[in-house]
Amino acid sequence: MIKKFLTTLSLICSIMIGSVNVTAQQVAPTTSDSVSTVYYIKNITSENLLKIYDALDRHATGKVCVKLSSGEKGNPNHLSPELIAPLVQGLNATIVECNTAYPGARTNDSDHMEVAREHGFTAIAPFHLLDSISSTALPVRDGKHIDYALIGKDWLDFNFTIVLSHFKGHPMAGFGGALKNIGIGLQSREGKAWVHSAGQYTDPNNLWGANMPEQDDFLETMAEAAKAITDYAGNQILYINVANNLSVDCDCVADPEPVKMADIGIFASLDPVAVDRACIDAVHLSNDHGKVHLEQRIAERNGTHVLDYAEKLGLGNQKYVLVTIE
């Protein structure tokens, strides 16, 4: 039986990172506020990944997919297949991905599958590229940049989605977590171009350079695309962030900047905004001096704007209670 210690203070949740006590600030909720629950466990192991999944008490049923980043060819920081195998295999799940919009080794099916093999994912479970055949559109309600998102069509064939994200920095978004994993990662190649251009282009060849939108417009479009996913999925989705290998660069970078901060742990929630917010808080309030590099990357890209806008759209809450599992 998992022993849970619930801190219900309105202003503060305490967590342990390494041997350092870290305090994650929370805004004091009022009686009218919604407060989400985020689970945390310090040691990053396969057993603890199973524990934190069980703690969410939302059981994956039917045809289950696990959305993660397969990592660019040569990237050493992606989630370890050995770490995730017991969870994926225990659910008889399929690992899913979509092709990338940027030039690299994952722009087409054959190259992407080869990277998935090299990184060990095809050895532990079926691996499926959701946009192998085509994209499909999902509506975006209340968006100001896009009215629809273009996702990998085959995602609609699955009944339940586990969004298993490697939390780390990102060269464009500032950080990558649950919101990026669905707002970019579940979008097809054309859908990624649609998001990165804030609704201007679906052809990746038109991206980059002078054709890129304002930073906040990009972040807001990513949140809008994520909302299309959460609206469609309803209760058939959950979010787990593994905060390790904390480079300032994403797994989409073939040669990322060296990791300069110690691992933090595993976070999980039914709320993608809250789970990302909890990871950000843990970075900010850590006593690890190496955090300054990740903090700088997030600040320079105005990364937390995606949380503010996602909350405004109704994707989730930045107010949360932290439950530590031991």
Q: How far is CA 52 from CA 46, 198, 209, 243, in A?
A: 10, 35, 41, 14
Q: Is the CB of residue 165 less than 8 Å from the CB of residue 176?
A: yes
User: Is the Cβ–Cβ distance between 12 and 25 less than 8 Å?
Assistant: yes
**Residue 163: is its pLDDT beyond 90?**
yes
> How many angstroms separate the CA atoms of 87 and 101, rounded?
29
Q: How far apart are CA 228 and CA 149, in angstroms?
A: 6
207-212: average pLDDT: 81
Helix H or strand E segment including 124: none
Tokens of 179: 């919101």
Contact between 13 and 27 (Cβ < 8 Å)? no
pLDDT digits 0-9 by tens, 116-148 = 999 999 999 999 999 999 999 999 999 999 999
Residues 6+ positions from 297 with CB-CB distance below 8 Å:
169, 170, 171, 174, 175, 248, 303
Question: Is-contact 292 322, C-beta < 8 A?
Answer: no
What is the CATH superfamily name and number for domain 57-317? LarA, N-terminal domain (3.40.50.11440)
What is the reported pLDDT for 27?
Answer: 41
State the pairing for strand pair 320-325/4-6: antiparallel
Per-residue confidence at 33, pLDDT binned at 50, 70, 90? low
> String of b and e for 85-124 (b: at least 16 CB within 10 Å)?
bebbeebebbbbbbbbbbebbbeeeeebbebbeebbbbee
Pair 180, 173: CB distance under 8 Å? yes
Cβ-based burial of 43 (10 A; exposed 0-12, middle 13-18, buried ≥19): exposed
pLDDT digits (tens, 9 = 90+) for 45-60: 999 999 999 999 999 9
Average of per-residue pLDDT across 170-180:
97
> Which residue's entry shows tokens 């297949």?
81
Identify which of 68, 26, 67, 10 has the alpha carbon closest to the alpha carbon of residue 280: 26
Is the pTM value of this prediction over 0.85?
yes
Q: How far is Cα 285 from Cα 212, in angstroms, rounded to an integer?
A: 33
pLDDT digits (tens, 9 = 90+) for 295-304: 999 999 999 9
25 confidence band (pLDDT: 50, 70, 90): very low
What's the pLDDT at 211? 79
Both tokens of residue 315? 């994707």
Contact 127, 113 (CB under 8 A): yes
